[in-house]
Structure 1
Amino acid sequence: MALNVVIGIVGSVLDNRGKGYKRWDAWRPSVSVCMQADFPVARFELLHQPGDVKLAKEVATDIASVSPHTEVVLHAVEFVDPWDFEEVYSKLLDFSLGYRFDTDNEQYFLHITTGTHVAQICWFLLCEANYVPAQLLQSSPKKMPEHGNASIQFIDLDLSRYDAISSRFQRQNLEGEAFLKSGIETRNAAFNEMIQEIERVVIRSKAPLLLTGPTGAGKSQLAKRIYQLKHRRQQVKGEFVAVNCATLRGDNAMSTLFGHVRGAFTGAHQARKGLLAKADKGLLFLDEIGELGLDEQAMLLHAIEEKNFFPVGADSAVHSDFQLIAGTNKDLRLEVKSGHFRDDLLARINLWSYALPGLKDRREDIEPNIDYELQQLEAENNHKISFNKLARERYLKFALSSEAEWTGNFRDLNASIQRMATLADGGRINEALVDAEIRQLKANWRDVTRTSRLPNLGDYLDDEVLKTMDLFDQLQLAQVLAICQQCSSLSEAGRMLFNCSRLQKTSSNDSHRVRQYLAKFGLDAKSIRP
């Protein structure tokens, strides 16, 4: 049978009533909880202010006299201002996170009768959010108290038991890994392991994070969820500030990031704060950080290390203590070699680096992401949106096949679901809509492939070799190289290049066929990297 464990705060007034033997004639909440014949308390975790240690020891002694089997554990927790909500919540959260709950063998009860009203509210929030896996416990004196006799009541916070409340306030309490994934039940094992590590890192560290991966892989969404997780845990107090560095050029880049003083340059009629200052005590997300100029990179490095910087035209520094998350779809090590990115800045932001795979590398996660997109649209439009059975099967078959290129990654998927949902009469997506959408996606991807810049063969072959190649062979090789460079492996490139002929074979080795083709020109997987 599970042991009863009570957690509470020493009441500096209610637990301090009566002197000497007369204290037994008064109702003292913490002691009375342990005097219930039908509620044996195995342990009482009693928090107290450092200045109330004498009172806390007296309460512990009295509990021992009326309930010898109860172990009292005292915890000194200092509240500089017991009526400061932020401070009290933070201290109680720290206690909760540091306490080792054993829910298999113990059941927990939060005694909310003592402590300030602020503490009671904080206990309620921590319990409701499951930081403290407990029931709320309220004690009160009986109408005719005898020898400290009192009654206790248990408050049930399980809203799912109350239909009227549950139907009105349905919600998902997401935390940690599930929170960072927006509650999507992703199936890709490598991705799930990466998210689990990111969750541990962002809770325990304020160091910069570098998120890499193709456009549309979800870097911006993940950065925002990281901020929300840290904000919920009281680890950041400031704003989430996001900027796409690809949109910053020249004086505008410096001014946008670092601000400027009035008259700093032509057109600077008013002073500007700048995004780094706005992110003070918050989180700054610099997407496409590889697009920043070298001057901006130097100032950013100084701001990260020194927590201050000079706005354009300013004589005095501005302080800003922010956490940085950087995103890029470039290989910053190659950018360093080419002189376009500072090696010292890369070293500073590369302590924690995570590569987000594109959608085509996480095809097993397409189905749960479809369900997520539908749920989002349902919430926005206030009505149910779904596929019929055959339409869902047809769309999934295409989405999981090599025909689906997903060049825009999750942005492609989001746009695709939105188009079908908008055109679905009665919120029901049928086969005709799916067929039309598949044609739309294929056309979009053909346009992208057609307009993509083909690699320069001169970067891979000697001039003498190129002179002996027909234009036909040059164009074919350039297209093959472009597809190989878009794919994460030669196997994936082979599946795309031999999408029809591979189906005629009982067994296919797509990567081997690509290697054979490249070998004709003296090339291999390593030599064709962009």
Structure 2
Amino acid sequence: MAKKNVVIGFLGTQLDGGKGAGRWEKWRPTVSLVQHHDAVVDRLELMFTARHLELARLVQRDIAQVSPETEVRLVELQIDDPWDFGEVYTTLYDWSQTYPFDPAREDYRAHITTGTHVAQICMFLMIEARFIPGVLLQTSPPRRQTAGDPGTMTLIDLDLSRYDPIARRFQAAQQDAVAFLKRGIATRNRRFNALIEEVERVAVRSRAPMLLAGPTGAGKSFLARRMYELKQSRHQLDGLFVDVNCATLRGDGAASTLFGHKKGAFTGAAADRPGLLRTAHKGLLFLDEIGELGLDEQAMLLKAIEEKRFLPVGADREVESDFQLIAGTNRDLRAEVAAGRFRDDLFARINLWTYSLPGLRDRPEDIEPNVEHLLAQAAQDSGRAVRFSAEAKTRYLAFAQSARAPWSGNFRDLSASITRLATLAEGGRISLPLVEAEIARLAWLWDRGDATLPTTGASSRGPAAAPDLTALLGEEAVEAMDLFDQLQLAAVVRVCRGARTLSDAGRQLFQASREARSVINDADRLRKYLLKFGLNWEQVIAET
């Protein structure tokens, strides 16, 4: 189905004027748009200011008379001074952000013959920045004025240079784009912020392959999707975002999954399969853990990247797919090339733009803003606000930013941790005991030398682990405890058994909150906590 032609332009307050019959004897640029029989205009977005409403309606009626198939939409703009560059550009920019552009079904042309010179320049800039995804349209009168002669029209598709007067506007747009890539999180790590700023520039200016390196959970897949959404908002991509984890592709099925197959190509191929590369046509293909691909699939992928075509399994004819590739890896592909496990030519092709995302342990200053973001997200999901108490937040961040927290799962670990805290928070408040229990859980998670959960003895909730709470409290009492209380008490007992005195254990357990309190009695705090479970200091240390 042919695309519709949509023209966007300003009303010509002088050239489009005239009320009597004589107006049909002169050339009027807006009316002339619909008088070209070889260039049908399906819709005209006619912009005007309030004081020219009567003229706009007249032009609308005249176009209906000449070209009834053309829909004319009157777009009233709130512009006080049409010669004020900032006012005109800002108004056009705001309009473009809410207009439902559909480049897959419509072609857009910005008419630059009418309007003030300022308005024409702004139209240039809107096209050049792709805020209006189309081309420029210039109309001219006929050499000799003849009734009904529409004159000429020219389409102009230019890569225009930037204009200094609106540099701040583009800088603001770039800052918005960078914030979008970071999901609005005010990250503080300078290296990470500089990386994202460059990624934003590359994302909106290049269709070349990109390689995102970094440990598992560092956010490669998330960043790839945000780049896709950014490019889509600029009308640079019309297709889908296709996310593939190459580590899940094994054996003969790998080529079929990526490149598709013909019916009967192998046992079980009961029907044609297009493959994920074809699904990503006109869109973005993210191949995570690309180092896991076999050498045969690597060779096929290289051809698909370079030539935009490839041969499905069992096919005699090549198929086409024009996609942008972003690859992800947690391996050093240079070492993989040296070992012969990754093709040198493919690495060279995807290595034009390579960015190594730092893990969470390398960005300790970004933990706090990410925690705040995750809490806000949890509140949105659950419908209830969740906050740390002051001492609980201090304790959690002190641990999270310390060497004791390797964050081996990166943001997956952090997200899971905050989810647990938000879920268990009573009255929407994350307390210090809850944080202590979560720290114990994280410590266990990252301690690969101890495969048992530090909870109970014979309890059905977990295997035996030291300290043995059953020996302290009895099996029945432990069974009646929540897992949260088990984790917390086990962590406290371990600290007590490693301390010299009750006061020493109290200082270790409540160190982070000491300076915030006017009265310090850590031993009494600890004594009261143990008493909740019917325990005293002598009983706890007697188990060592």
TM-score scaled to structure 1, two decimals?
0.60
The alpha carbon displacement at 1:405 in A equals 1.3
Aligned mates of 1:334, 1:238 — CA distance in 2? 34
Is this contact kept in 2: 1:194–1:354, CA < 8 A?
A: yes
Matching residue's letter, 1:91: G
Which deviations, in whole Å up to 9, do the C-alpha atoms of 1:324-372 show, x marking residues without a partner?
Answer: 0000000001001111000000000000000011111111111011011
Partner of 1:399: 400
Is this contact kept in 2: 1:188–1:362, CA < 8 A?
A: yes
Partner of 2:134: 91
Partner of 2:326: 325
Aligned mates of 1:225, 1:379 — CA distance in 2? 20
Partner of 2:144: none
Partner of 2:283: 282
Is this contact kept in 2: 1:14–1:29, CA < 8 A?
A: no
Which deviations, in whole Å up to 9, do the C-alpha atoms of 1:27-69 show, x marking residues without a partner?
Answer: x957957xxxx9555457799979884xx4xx76xxxxxxxxx
Matching residue's letter, 2:225: K
Partner of 1:182: 183
Partner of 1:18: 18
State yes or no: 1:265 paired with 2:266.
Answer: yes
Aligned mates of 1:312, 1:427 — CA distance in 2? 55
Partner of 1:343: 344
Aligned mates of 1:264, 1:31 — CA distance in 2? 66
Partner of 1:212: 213
Aligned mates of 1:439, 1:362 — CA distance in 2? 22
State yes or no: 1:303 paired with 2:304.
Answer: yes
Partner of 2:202: 201
Report the CA distance shift for 1:262/1:282 in structure 2 as closer, same or farther (over 3 A): same
RMSD: 4.0
Is this contact kept in 1: 2:112–2:123, CA < 8 A?
A: no
Aligned mates of 1:202, 1:40 — CA distance in 2? 36
Aligned mates of 2:119, 2:167 — CA distance in 1? 20
Which deviations, in whole Å up to 9, do the C-alpha atoms of 1:456-476 show, x marking residues without a partner?
Answer: xxxxxxxxxxxxxxxxxxxxx
Partner of 1:389: 390
The alpha carbon displacement at 1:449 in A equals 8.3
The alpha carbon displacement at 1:423 in A equals 1.0
Partner of 1:238: 239
Report the CA distance shift for 1:219/1:448 in structure 2 as closer, same or farther (over 3 A): farther
Is this contact kept in 1: 2:212–2:356, CA < 8 A?
A: yes
Aligned mates of 1:363, 1:16 — CA distance in 2? 63
State yes or no: 1:363 paired with 2:406.
Answer: no
Other structure's SS at 2:396 match = helix
Matching residue's letter, 2:295: L
Other structure's SS at 1:324 match = strand
Aligned mates of 1:439, 1:277 — CA distance in 2? 48
Partner of 2:251: 250
Is this contact kept in 2: 1:287–1:326, CA < 8 A?
A: yes
Report the CA distance shift for 1:51/1:10 in structure 2 as closer, same or farther (over 3 A): closer
Other structure's SS at 2:212 match = strand
Other structure's SS at 2:306 match = helix
Question: Which is further off, 414-423 or 286-295?
Answer: 414-423
Which deviations, in whole Å up to 9, do the C-alpha atoms of 1:210-240 show, x marking residues without a partner?
Answer: 0001111111111111111111111111000
TM-score scaled to structure 2, two decimals?
0.58
Partner of 2:540: none
State yes or no: 1:430 paired with 2:431.
Answer: yes
Other structure's SS at 1:336 match = helix
Report the CA distance shift for 1:97/1:427 in structure 2 as closer, same or farther (over 3 A): farther
Aligned mates of 2:242, 2:398 — CA distance in 1? 39
Matching residue's letter, 1:191: F
Is this contact kept in 1: 2:261–2:273, CA < 8 A?
A: yes
Other structure's SS at 1:422 match = helix
Is this contact kept in 1: 2:112–2:120, CA < 8 A?
A: no
Matching residue's letter, 2:412: R
Other structure's SS at 1:303 match = helix
Aligned mates of 1:405, 1:31 — CA distance in 2? 62
Which deviations, in whole Å up to 9, do the C-alpha atoms of 1:159-216 show, x marking residues without a partner?
Answer: xxxxxxxxxxxxxx98311111111111110110010000001110000010001111
Aligned mates of 2:109, 2:234 — CA distance in 1? 23
Other structure's SS at 1:395 match = helix
Rg larger in structure: 2
Is this contact kept in 1: 2:109–2:134, CA < 8 A?
A: no
Report the CA distance shift for 1:306/1:30 in structure 2 as closer, same or farther (over 3 A): same
Runs (4+) off by over 6 Å = 19-23, 44-52, 92-99, 130-133, 448-451
The alpha carbon displacement at 1:447 in A equals 2.4
Aligned mates of 2:110, 2:242 — CA distance in 1? 40
Partner of 2:26: none
**How many residues are treated as equivalent by the alignment?**
354
The alpha carbon displacement at 1:17 in A equals 3.2
Other structure's SS at 1:241 match = strand
Report the CA distance shift for 1:434/1:15 in structure 2 as closer, same or farther (over 3 A): farther
Report the CA distance shift for 1:277/1:103 in structure 2 as closer, same or farther (over 3 A): closer
Partner of 2:469: none
Aligned mates of 1:209, 1:89 — CA distance in 2? 26
Report the CA distance shift for 1:102/1:448 in structure 2 as closer, same or farther (over 3 A): farther
The alpha carbon displacement at 1:420 in A equals 1.0
